[in-house]
A = this chain, B = another copy of it.
Amino acid sequence: MTAAADHPSPLPAPAAAEVDLLGALAYGELSSFLRLSAEAAGAPSLREIEGLARLGVEHFSRYRLLSARLREVGVAPESAMGPFRVALDAFHARTTPRDWTESLIKAYVGDGIATDFYLEVSAHVGETTQRLVREVLGAAVTGGGAGAPQTAQSDVGDYVVAAVARASAEDPQLSSRLALWGRRLVGEALSQAQGIVTDHPALASLLTGGAGGGDGDGAASRNAHGADLVEVGAMFMRITQAHVRRMGRLGLTA
């Protein structure tokens, strides 16, 4: 309350930021589902087809939870997702995997980056939505609890690590190609995240705690636009570090 009075701001209401967050996430999950399912058909064996299909369907489960929440707050999922379609479709067009091993890497490290980003964005959103977002995405990191999607990202990682190892055994050049692919993915994903923040001020306000709550640090950072940028920069550094760890787990040079 005091903080809000001290810092009157032209930022959109928390509701707008929440709808933006849910809309961006929901479309991200839906498009990941569509991409992975289509890519699954091109995998070399039924085992790998099933593996990619499973990853795809997991995204659809998340999409269902997110779109249900949008309906709950009175927003048609289509209209919340609409503003994010062009940017996310462009991201996928720029990162179309050439084969199923690139799909695997994208499913693990690409989604890992998106997950980290949206967890950061959700730090200052309303409690119910925050719990949902953390359940949907946090399951991707911790293994999930009741009601969480069935495949945790740690399981995703296990599957991807094993499948990449199987493929590498048959193609000694694969590691260097996939290492390059990982670097391309992280570059595109970060520029994508930056673009989303730039184009959607309501979301940007969440990153710096502007749309509600926020502790002392958050208030201090809002004193100047430069401080906000430093905070956003630190976030991108944390995301990049997590990416480097995931590439390491895959045995690939980040």
Contact = CB atoms under 8 A, between A and B. Distances in A.
A166 to B, nearest CB: 14
A220 to B, nearest CB: 40
A56 B37 contact: yes
Contacts of A81: 46
Interface in A147-171: none
Contacts of A37: 33-34, 37-38, 56
Q: How large is the interface on A (under 10, 10 to 19, 20 to 34, 35 or more residues)?
A: 20 to 34
The A interface is mostly helix, strand or loop, or mixed, namely helix
Interface string A61-98: 00100010000000001100110010000000000000
Interface in A12-63: 27, 30, 33-34, 37-38, 40-41, 45-47, 49-50, 53, 56-57, 60, 63
Contacts of A45: 78
A41 B34 contact: yes
Interface of A: 27, 30, 33-34, 37-38, 40-41, 45-47, 49-50, 53, 56-57, 60, 63, 67, 77-78, 81-82, 85
Copies in the complex: 2
21 contacts: A30-B46, A30-B49, A30-B50, A30-B53, A33-B37, A33-B53, A34-B40, A34-B41, A37-B37, A37-B38, A37-B56, A38-B38, A38-B41, A46-B77, A46-B81, A46-B82, A47-B78, A50-B63, A50-B77, A57-B57, A57-B60
Given A57-B57, A57-B60, A60-B57, A49 B34 contact: yes
A45 B30 CA distance: 13
